[in-house]
């Protein structure tokens, strides 16, 4: 399979679509927010019809459901095997590191990290304090909570991160091991920081013009979601909480999403540089990157 990773707003989906079309493939999304039905604008979803290629692991669960990396591994593996059975090429594309790692690594999840969950927890630490996070850990993993003092915030966040990503206690993670689902080549889109930030701002402008506020309002009023749910903790959604509580204006929401997205993108870039062995870094226009991947794949012997 081909894996295309990289930071948010780097053009992964467009590149993956071009690659899939050229190589008789189908896309397997590795995005922890696009799994949720009805969360479209804030997650920058693109339909199969728009892409001209079939996508898997998009719109697979309701937004009131929890969805872990273990769930992702199981469903994505089924999709990949189905794609290969039909003699097509799986093209995995996304920026959720835990998801990609679950498909290729023999390491336990406890040795991995997820920049988005880290960012969420650091924000919770600043807003709610360490004791509140420690109470949450005690509910999810009493064994780890007994061993980790709330003042050890680094370890506290780490334990919570793994609990939230996997749906299993941090204390159990060291023995979880998976073999790669399929042989793979990994490409990482690596844009210049200034270009990436410009892409983020343009995409955010588009989201607001498309009706992001109405989408979030609908999730709250029609789907009965609240901001404590896993799906509503994602960037692009959690920042609306003070707005709907009458504590800030829409401009403040826009600025908060922009800031949090840039911080997340920076963490993703760092993460992709250091977490995987021998990824192939690419940059340029979507067409140029797709062409580079296609040529590399055609000239590689497996």
Which overall architecture, per CATH, does domain 2-106+178-298 show? 3-Layer(aba) Sandwich (3.40)
User: Which residue from 42, 60, 39 is spatially nearest to 225, judged by alpha carbons?
Assistant: 39
| φ, ψ for residue 5, nearest 5 deg | -110, 175
Q: Which fold has domain 115-175?
A: Histone, subunit A (1.10.20)
User: Which residue from 166, 17, 149 is spatially nearest to 89, judged by alpha carbons?
Assistant: 17
Domain regions of the chain by residue span: 2-106+178-298, 115-175
At 4, which helix (H) or strand (E)?
strand 2-5
Sheet holding 280-282, edge to edge: 55-56, 25-29, 89-94, 2-5, 185-189, 280-282
User: Which residue from 139, 165, 166, 144 is spatially nearest to 155, judged by alpha carbons?
Assistant: 144
Residues of the chain with pLDDT under 70: 106-115, 173-179, 302
Q: What is the pLDDT of residue 276?
A: 83
Query: CA 289, 300, 185 angle in degrees (round to 5)?
Result: 60
User: Which residue from 66, 82, 153, 79 is spatially nearest to 118, judged by alpha carbons?
Assistant: 153
């Amino acid at each position: 399979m081909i894996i295309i990773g990289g930071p948010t707003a780097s053009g992964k989906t467009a590149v993956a679509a071009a690659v899939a079309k050229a190589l008789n493939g189908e896309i397997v999304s590795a995005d922890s927010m696009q799994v949720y039905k009805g969360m479209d604008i804030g997650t920058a979803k693109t339909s199969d019809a728009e892409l001209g290629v079939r996508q898997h692991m998009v719109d697979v669960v309701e937004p009131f459901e929890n969805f872990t990396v273990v769930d992702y591994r199981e469903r994505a593996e089924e999709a990949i095997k189905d794609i290969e059975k039909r003699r097509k090429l799986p093209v995995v594309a996304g920026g959720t590191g835990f998801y990609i790692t679950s498909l290729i690594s023999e390491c336990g999840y406890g040795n991995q990290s997820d920049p988005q969950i880290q960012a969420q927890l650091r924000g919770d630490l600043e807003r709610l304090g360490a004791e509140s996070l420690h109470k949450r850990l005690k509910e999810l993993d009493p064994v780890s909570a007994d061993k980790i003092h709330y003042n050890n915030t680094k370890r506290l966040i780490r334990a919570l991160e793994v609990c939230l990503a996997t749906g299993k206690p941090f204390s159990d993670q060291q023995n979880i091991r998976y073999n790669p689902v399929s042989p793979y080549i990994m490409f990482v889109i690596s844009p210049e920081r200034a270009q990436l930030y410009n892409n983020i701002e343009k995409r955010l402008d588009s989201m607001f013009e498309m009706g992001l506020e109405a989408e979030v309002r609908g999730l709250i009023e029609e789907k009965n979601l609240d901001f404590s749910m896993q799906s509503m903790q994602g960037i692009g959604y959690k920042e609306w909480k003070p707005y709907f509580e009458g504590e800030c204006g829409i401009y403040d929401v826009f600025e908060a999403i922009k800031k949090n997205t840039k911080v997340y993108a920076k963490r993703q870039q760092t993460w992709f540089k250091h977490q995987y062995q021998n990824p192939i870094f690419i940059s340029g226009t979507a067409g140029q990157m797709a062409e580079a991947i296609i040529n590399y794949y055609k000239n590689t012997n497996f």
